[in-house]
Amino acid sequence: MSEVTGDRLKSFIERVERLENEKKAISDDIKDIYLEAKGQGFSAKIIKAIVKLRKVSKEKRQEEQELMELYCSAIGLDI
């Protein structure tokens, strides 16, 4: 591998590492928000569930719910 090639490779690696650091910082910020919410009496767990809920479409959620109910009725589990 030529020196130039090595430099380019190094450049790629460092760019990735820089972005991963930024990503990590944002993750930490998100954690802080959950802590803040918790400090004001909100349940972090529920907030996370809502954020997730808003991501996936209503149709998809209903599909899963229906499959779940089908399985439960098949084994006689009352939910």
Binding footprint of its own copies on the chain (CB under 8 A): 1, 5-6, 8-10, 12-13, 15-17, 19-20, 22-23, 26-27, 29-30, 33-34, 36-37, 40, 42-43, 45-47, 49-51, 53-54, 58, 60-61, 64, 67-68, 70-77, 79
Q: Cα(55)–Cα(18) distance, rounded to whole angstroms? A: 28
Q: CB 24 → its own copies: shortest distance, Å?
A: 10
By beta-carbon proximity to DNA, the closer residue of 4 and 52 is: 52
Is 34 within 8 Å of 47 (Cβ atoms)? yes
- Rounded to the nearest 5 percent, the helix, strand and coil shares of the chain are 85, 0, 15
